[in-house]
A and B are shown apart, each in its own frame.
Chain A
Amino acid sequence: MPREGLTGSRIRERRSVAGLRQAELARSLGISASYLNLIEHNRRRIGGKLLVNIARALGVEPSVLTEGAEATLIATLREAATDASLSAEETGRADELAGRFPGWAEVLAAGHRRIATLERTVEVLNDRLTHDPQLAASVHELLSTAAAIRSTASILADEKDLEADWRDRFHANLDQDSLRLADSSRALVEYFEAGQSGEDTSSSPQDELDAFLDANSWRFDAIETGEKAPGDIIAAAPELRQRAARQLAGTVLQRIAADAARVSLKELQAALAAHGPDPVALARHTGAPVALVLRRMASLAEPECGLVICDRAGSIVFRKPAGQFVIPRFAPACALWPLFSALNQPGQVLRIPVVQLGRGRTAFDCFAVAETVGEPAYNMPPLMQATMLLLPVAGPAPVDALQVGSTCRVCPAERCPGRREPSILREGV
């Protein structure tokens, strides 16, 4: 029988504090000691009159013994245990730990949450450091200026008989470079601070597009209802400063408009009511391609799904976040994602349960399909796009779930056939 949570553990803890033996308490309640033992080990459900009697016997309010905010604590502890690869038996004792040692349990849970936050920060900064062209250019600027200053300062210090003209020239260069260094340093600090706080500096067209989509919760009801055209929405979006960003947004919104024209929100919701979140059944029902159905499902508020689209070269061209599933912004994504498997099997719809390592092992029902895009032409290889929908699954991950990462550099998997480079999390690179 599954364990029912904290209640039994808390009864045992309170009984110990009260100095009562199990048999004594059982006798006062009119139940057998063995039954109380089962309750205390969370192997029997408890509620109603018996719970009230136990609470009265222990001198506490019944609510003190029942589950409350601690459910979150237990969930976090279980997550920490799973991440640490503890056995199922040990993981199952998270509620006992929380019940008997609530203070220590909170410390452990807070530590786990802190690690998750720091890992996320590492991911963001590593992603930027390694692959962000703007950051690479900024670092180059910074270090080139430092090189110029160092070289010039050394000349001024070492050359005792430097001619006045040269000295003046190098002094002017130093002044100029030190100003540049100050500006570059300040800009870089602002950039990193934005990364740590999760803010978006909107420095690239893709950044601006993501900020725009995020600001609209990835939904455009005015397009769904036909009230506004994509161009109107883009014109009224302050986030889209760059022309390239507006072009990207135009492509996304036009696709949303075309998708909505093919399968309206009302039709989609009716199909969902009839078949549930089953993309193939929805595609049959609506007569629309599966990739379109995946995109339409991702536009719904409920269930809240993530969506990733990549091109034929495997570059991610669209990303809608899904809970704790990390989709790298700049770094190459995990090669094990069903998205890339779909790319190799055009037309075949994949349905694979996945769990992303290092993220509390939240499970996702993952649907992926690849289809050709663009106009047909003679002697031109078909341009493919793969689309992957991430549907969060409540409860523990299925045992057969495919374990994937986000990107190699921040993936804890030690022996992975898809690894491209060492991880900085476990291998200390």
Chain B
Amino acid sequence: MQNRNALWEEGQMSNHVLLVEDEVNIIEAIRFLLSREGWTVDTHSDGSDAADVIRTRKPDIVILDVMLPGRSGFDILEELRSDAQTADLPVLMLTARGQSRDREMAEKAGVSRFMTKPFSNAEVLTAVRDLLYVHRQST
């Protein structure tokens, strides 16, 4: 089995991420980081229609904030998991509330990985790469 960095460097991994986040400067920073790594970065800031946007744009991975205007990240994730089209979609959830209850709620909703703010850029990049790698290996 090739390791994930080799796959990455050979361009065998798809690279479309949808960032659902309402914090403009976080969007800008993450977009910059992932773009530099070769990802195509889509963004969306409204929770109320986020699930539809995800289904329409068909990203390889979603970075999802918990507290969004219109609808919480937990609700969005539950909807994604109940839809065959998005049931296995890798979702990295970002939250500013690191309480164990939030983690439990995220796990119950079917999160792929959970990360608390403030995070480091390296953590985000590693998490995104890992999630996609694991997803590719399992499908």
Which residues 100-121 in B have Cβ within 8 Å of A in the complex?
116-121
Determine if A147 and B121 form an interchain contact, defined as CB atoms under 8 angstroms apart: no
A385–B32 CA distance with the chains assembled, in angstroms: 55
Determine if B67 and A140 form an interchain contact, defined as CB atoms under 8 angstroms apart: yes
Residues of chain B within 8 A of A52, CB atoms compared: none
Cβ contacts A to B, 17 pairs, < 8 Å: A136-B67, A139-B97, A141-B96, A142-B96, A143-B117, A144-B23, A144-B26, A144-B96, A144-B117, A146-B118, A147-B26, A148-B23, A151-B29, A152-B29, A154-B120, A170-B32, A173-B29
Overall SS of chain A's interface = helix
Known: A148-B29, A169-B28. A155 touches B96 (CB 8 A): no
What class of interface size applies to chain A in its complex with B? 20 to 34
A148–B23 CA distance with the chains assembled, in angstroms: 8
Q: Does B41 contact A (CB under 8 A)?
A: no
A144–B28 CA distance with the chains assembled, in angstroms: 13
A373–B30 CA distance with the chains assembled, in angstroms: 53
Q: Does A166 contact B (CB under 8 A)?
A: yes
Determine if B118 and A139 form an interchain contact, defined as CB atoms under 8 angstroms apart: no
Looking across the interface, which residue of chain A has its beta carbon closest to that of B21? A144
A146–B96 CA distance with the chains assembled, in angstroms: 10
A149–B24 CA distance with the chains assembled, in angstroms: 12
Known: A139-B97, A140-B96, A147-B23. A155 touches B32 (CB 8 A): yes
Residues of chain B within 8 A of A136, CB atoms compared: 67, 97
CB distance from A282 to the nearest CB of B (A): 44
Residues of chain B within 8 A of A151, CB atoms compared: 26, 29-30, 33, 118-121, 124
Q: Does B25 contact A (CB under 8 A)?
A: yes
A158–B33 CA distance with the chains assembled, in angstroms: 11
Known: A142-B96, A155-B32. A147 touches B119 (CB 8 A): yes
Determine if B33 and A155 form an interchain contact, defined as CB atoms under 8 angstroms apart: yes
Residues of chain B within 8 A of A228, CB atoms compared: none
Looking across the interface, which residue of chain A has its beta carbon closest to that of B23? A144
Q: Does A137 contact B (CB under 8 A)?
A: yes
Q: Does A96 contact B (CB under 8 A)?
A: no
CB distance from B94 to the nearest CB of A (A): 8
A141–B117 CA distance with the chains assembled, in angstroms: 10
A140–B22 CA distance with the chains assembled, in angstroms: 12
Q: Does A426 contact B (CB under 8 A)?
A: no
Determine if A158 and B121 form an interchain contact, defined as CB atoms under 8 angstroms apart: yes
Determine if B120 and A148 form an interchain contact, defined as CB atoms under 8 angstroms apart: no
A35–B41 CA distance with the chains assembled, in angstroms: 93
The count of chain B contact residues (Cβ–Cβ below 8 Å) is 21
Residues of chain B within 8 A of A45, CB atoms compared: none
Residues of chain A within 8 A of B118, CB atoms compared: 143, 146-147, 149-151
Residues of chain A within 8 A of B97, CB atoms compared: 136, 139-140, 143
Residues of chain A within 8 A of B25, CB atoms compared: 148, 152, 173, 176-177
* Proximity bits, A141-184, B CB within 8 Å = 1, else 0: 11111111111101100110000001001100100110000000
Known: A149-B118, A154-B121. A139 touches B96 (CB 8 A): yes
A173–B32 CA distance with the chains assembled, in angstroms: 13
A201–B36 CA distance with the chains assembled, in angstroms: 46
A155–B116 CA distance with the chains assembled, in angstroms: 19
Which residues 15-60 in B have Cβ within 8 Å of A in the complex?
23, 25-26, 28-30, 32-33, 36
Determine if B67 and A137 form an interchain contact, defined as CB atoms under 8 angstroms apart: yes
- Among A147, A152, A158, which residue has its beta carbon within 8 angstroms of that of B117? A147
Residues of chain B within 8 A of A155, CB atoms compared: 29, 32-33, 121
CB distance from A100 to the nearest CB of B (A): 48
CB distance from A403 to the nearest CB of B (A): 27
Residues of chain A within 8 A of B94, CB atoms compared: 147
A155–B35 CA distance with the chains assembled, in angstroms: 13
Residues of chain B within 8 A of A149, CB atoms compared: 118
CB distance from B134 to the nearest CB of A (A): 24
Looking across the interface, which residue of chain B has its beta carbon closest to that of A141? B96
Residues of chain B within 8 A of A152, CB atoms compared: 25, 28-29
Residues of chain A within 8 A of B26, CB atoms compared: 144, 147-148, 151
Given A150-B120, A151-B30, 17 extra CB contacts under 8 A: A136-B67, A139-B97, A144-B23, A144-B26, A144-B96, A147-B23, A147-B26, A147-B118, A147-B119, A148-B23, A148-B26, A149-B118, A151-B26, A151-B121, A152-B29, A155-B33, A176-B25
* Proximity bits, A297-320, B CB within 8 Å = 1, else 0: 000000000000000000000000
